[in-house]
Amino acid sequence: MNAASLLSAKPYLIRAIYEWCLDQGFTPHIACVVDANVRVPAGYARDGQIVLNIGPEATHHFVIGNEAITFQARFGGVAHSLYIPIGHVAAIYAAHNGQGMAFEPDLQAAVAAQTRADLDEGKGEARNAPRLTPLKPVAGNEVRQDEGDDDPPPAPHTPRRPHLTVVK
């Protein structure tokens, strides 16, 4: 098997952290980059990101596949079907203590996976990769930009690597 045909380890790591959260009695959450390839309820994303409770009590038909996370959840009492490409997941963590894992969003791989799915469904031409701004704080805690004073500001539309922090 050559390197080009290897599956990404990311969905396996997401599944492992998810199972660890459940085994510890913690509520798993994911932070995701939102663009045209992500299906979440309108009005719930902020600054191109959304944090979602993916615990069993909050989801129905929850599946972490190798290319996407899919489930149903209620927002404002209304059921919605959600679709998050694995490449758009920026972090998975336990809401109780912030422990988990952050990822560099791989939007090109996510767009390629969506392109394959669109072509398999006969939707014709594929979508182009969106341009995104750097990651910003989500709900004042979980995922944030590196804030080192010595670092030069990022180039426009270049996401910086998010990391988890514990907020007490």
- Residue 131, domain member (yes or no): yes
The CATH number of the domain holding residue 92 is: 2.30.30.220
* pLDDT score of 7: 82
* pLDDT score of 95: 94
* pLDDT score of 106: 79
- Residue 96, domain member (yes or no): yes
Query: Which of 3-12, 119-128, 158-167 shows the highest mean pLDDT?
Result: 3-12
Q: Which H/E stretch holds residue 90?
A: strand 89-94
- Residue 98, domain member (yes or no): yes
Inform me whether the pLDDT recorded for 4 exceeds 50.
yes
Query: How much is the pTM?
Result: 0.64
- Residue 75, domain member (yes or no): yes
* pLDDT score of 117: 53
pLDDT band at residue 6 under the 50/70/90 scheme: confident
Residue 121: domain span = 7-147+158-164
pLDDT digits (tens, 9 = 90+) for 88-140: 999 999 999 999 999 988 776 555 555 555 555 554 443 333 333 333 333 33
- Residue 2, domain member (yes or no): no
Contact predicate 128/37, CB 8 Å: no
Distance CA 86, CA 74 (A): 21
* pLDDT score of 146: 37
Inform me whether the pLDDT recorded for 58 exceeds 60.
yes
Cβ-based neighbours of 67, under 8 Å, separated by 6 or more: 11, 85, 86, 113, 117
Inform me whether the pLDDT recorded for 18 exceeds 90.
yes
Contact predicate 54/64, CB 8 Å: no
- Residue 26, domain member (yes or no): yes
Inform me whether the pLDDT recorded for 44 exceeds 60.
yes
Average pLDDT, the chain: 75
- Residue 153, domain member (yes or no): no
High-pLDDT (> 90) share of the chain, %: 55
- Sequence length of the chain is 168
- Residue 66, domain member (yes or no): yes
Q: Considering its fold, how many domains does the chain have in total? A: 1
Read off the DSSP letter of residue 83.
Answer: E
